[in-house]
Structure 1
Amino acid sequence: MDNATYCYSTDYTPLTTSKSTRKAGHSTTISMGTSEQIPKDYLVWSLCNTLYVNFCCLGFLALIYSVKARDQKTLGNLKEARESSEKAKWYNILASGWNLLVPLVVLAVLVLLLLYMRSNEGSLPFFGEQNGFQRFFSHFQ
């Protein structure tokens, strides 16, 4: 194609001027808004707590507030995002504490039960009898 067939508009503004007409030391600054710290949303932590144990829906509540914090952050409402972020953080702390507490309590109960049975050589009064525990398990052998 020939360049002569195109019609160019003659009313244009050049983006820059020649180097000789620019002033030395003159720069352009862009304001990016306030320098407030953007709140975290804790979404990955909330997902992990939601999928593991999730006692009393604490992980699910953390997930809800994490998504809300992310939405508010996207909309630019940093105050609401910060409040939702704090709630998500505390629900995650509670859910993580519960997620660690349950296995530790179960393990401690099992260890104490085994130590007690070993010290009494298997004679645990079960169903009100002296060797009831052994008799109970003898039905399954």
Structure 2
Amino acid sequence: MSHTSQAFLTAPNGGHPPNYERIKEEYEVAELGGPHGSTSVRTTVINMPREVAVPDHVVWSLFNTLFLNFCCLGFIAYAYSVKSRDRKMVGDVTGAQAYASTAKCLNISALVLSILTVVVTIIAVVCIAVSAGRLYT
């Protein structure tokens, strides 16, 4: 095996990096009012929408999932709430509002149906206890 040595290429100015020119940019500032001189100043107005706060109902959905999960409505509402939060992070306000609206409806349904279930259960237990008390007295 033969070993040959290779010389590294050196910069033409003695091994120092080349000098780079600084690029100067000129900015012209036009004052408000009439045009100065022969050229007219054109302006462009861009309307930026304000940050729209879209409630995603994650806490309410999590509460319904853990405590009032009637027919898995709380869990489904939680899934829609997470989708709403994801859409909001991406910047899709319309999609976030749609998912948040669905999550809100599911949360209301889960809450109402769970409260009705609890009330009906309490009424049934009281009725059974009263009728059982009448039988044994």
Of residues 108-117 and 86-95 in structure 1, the stretch that sits farther from structure 2 once superposed is 108-117
Task: Report SS of the residue matched to 2:98.
Answer: helix
> 1:91 deviation in Å?
0.4
Which of 1 and 2 has higher RCO (CA within 8 Å, sep 6+)?
Answer: 2
* 1:32 to 1:61, Cα distance in 2 relative to 1, 3 A: farther
Q: 1:50 aligns with which of 41, 46, 65?
A: 65
Determine if the alignment matches structure 1 residue 122 to structure 2 residue 119: no
Paired letter, 2:136: G
Give the helix-richer structure, 1 or 2: 1
1:73-84 correspondence runs (5 A) = 73-84=88-99
Aligned length: 98
Determine if the alignment matches structure 1 residue 85 to structure 2 residue 122: no
Paired letter, 1:99: S
Which whole-Å CA distance do the structure 2 matches of 1:49 and 1:33 have between them?
A: 37
Paired letter, 1:65: Y
Which whole-Å CA distance do the structure 2 matches of 1:62 and 1:36 have between them?
A: 24
Task: Report SS of the residue matched to 2:131.
Answer: helix
* 1:65 to 1:32, Cα distance in 2 relative to 1, 3 A: farther
The CA RMSD measured in Å over matched residues stands at 2.7
Which whole-Å CA distance do the structure 1 matches of 2:95 and 2:136 have between them?
A: 60
Residue segments in structure 2 that go unaligned for 5+ positions in a row:
1-21, 25-45
Native 8 Å contact 1:41 1:69 kept in 2: yes
The percentage of aligned residue pairs carrying the same residue is: 36
Which whole-Å CA distance do the structure 1 matches of 2:47 and 2:56 have between them?
A: 21
Per the normalisation by structure 2, the TM-score is 0.61
Residue segments in structure 1 that go unaligned for 5+ positions in a row:
1-10, 14-30, 124-141
Per the normalisation by structure 1, the TM-score is 0.59
Native 8 Å contact 2:68 2:111 kept in 1: no
Alpha-carbon displacement from aligned partner over 1:76-131 (angstroms, at most 9, x marks no partner): 1000000000000000001111221222111100111122233x3427xxxxxxxx
Which whole-Å CA distance do the structure 2 matches of 1:60 and 1:106 have between them?
A: 23
Paired letter, 2:101: E
Please say which structure displays the higher CA radius of gyration.
Answer: 2
